[in-house]
Amino acid sequence: MLKHEVKVLLSEQEVDKRIQEIGDMITKDFAGETVHLVCVLKGGSFFMCELAKRINLPVSLDFMSVSSYGSDTKSSGVVKIVKDLDEPLQGKNVIVVEDIVDSGRTLSYLMEMLKDRKPKSLTLCTLLDKPDRRVIDVDVKYTGFTIPDVFVVGYGLDYDQLYRNLPYIGEVVFPGEEGK
């Protein structure tokens, strides 16, 4: 692991406040309905738990885990399902909950795949979005924060599997790269 520091980019209070706002939006948009949250492991887990607590509707949860297919994934965008969902999606208001949309490759592939399972509706909710890095267009309905092209950790996001437990979003800074 390279020598690095973690600087606070979005504080715990800011993140909490924004998750409450997204919860309120979902509660309003899906009034009278049940929503089915699909968490993309592991990164989406912290956000999904906090969000689910702030949705004032009947909520069901499911989890899936995907990984990149070989070393070629960057170009192909094909993802492998490591753990599939337990429940069918047919007829449900599915909200996919992700930590971050970066190139968009993972999500565009995943959303197409989930659409084939005939949900009643399918929307994407991400805590963070890095639009500068987008390679494939993805339709994101709910975004927590739009951030610049920096490497972030915390709230489920990792650097070499560490820092997922930080209660805030931190920027990883490598010495010599500051102010670049």
Q: Which of 23, 43, 77, 154 binds Mg ion (CB under 5 A)?
A: 43
The answer to whether residue 102 is catalytic is: yes
Closer residue to Mg ion, CB minimum distance, 22 or 107: 107
Q: What backbone torsions phi and psi does residue 37 show, to the nearest 5 degrees?
A: -85, 130
Shortest approach of ligand IMP to residue 30 CB, angstroms?
24
SS (H, E, C) the chain: CCCCEEEEEECHHHHHHHHHHHHHHHHHHCCCCCEEEEEEECCCHHHHHHHHHCCCCCEEEEEEEEEECCCCHHHHCCEEEEECCCCCCCCCEEEEEEEEECCCHHHHHHHHHHHCCCCCEEEEEEEEECHHHCCCCCCCCEEEEECCCCCEEECCECECCECCCCCCEEEEECCCCCCC
Report how far residue 100's alpha carbon sits from residue 104's, in angstroms, rounded to the nearest whole number: 9
- Total interface residues for Mg ion by CB under 5 A: 2
Shortest approach of ligand IMP to residue 67 CB, angstroms?
10
Instruction: Confirm or reject binding of residue 156 to Mg ion (CB under 5 A).
Output: no
Which range binds ligand IMP by CB under 6 A, 10-18, 57-65, 92-100, 117-125?
A: 92-100
Site for Mg ion in 123-152 (CB under 5 A): none
Instruction: Confirm or reject binding of residue 38 to ligand IMP (CB under 6 A).
Output: no
Instruction: Confirm or reject binding of residue 106 to ligand IMP (CB under 6 A).
Output: yes
Closer residue to ligand IMP, CB minimum distance, 30 or 114: 114
Which range binds Mg ion by CB under 5 A, 19-27, 43-51, 70-78, 108-116?
A: 43-51
Contact positions vs ligand IMP (CB under 6 A):
43, 98-107, 151-153, 157
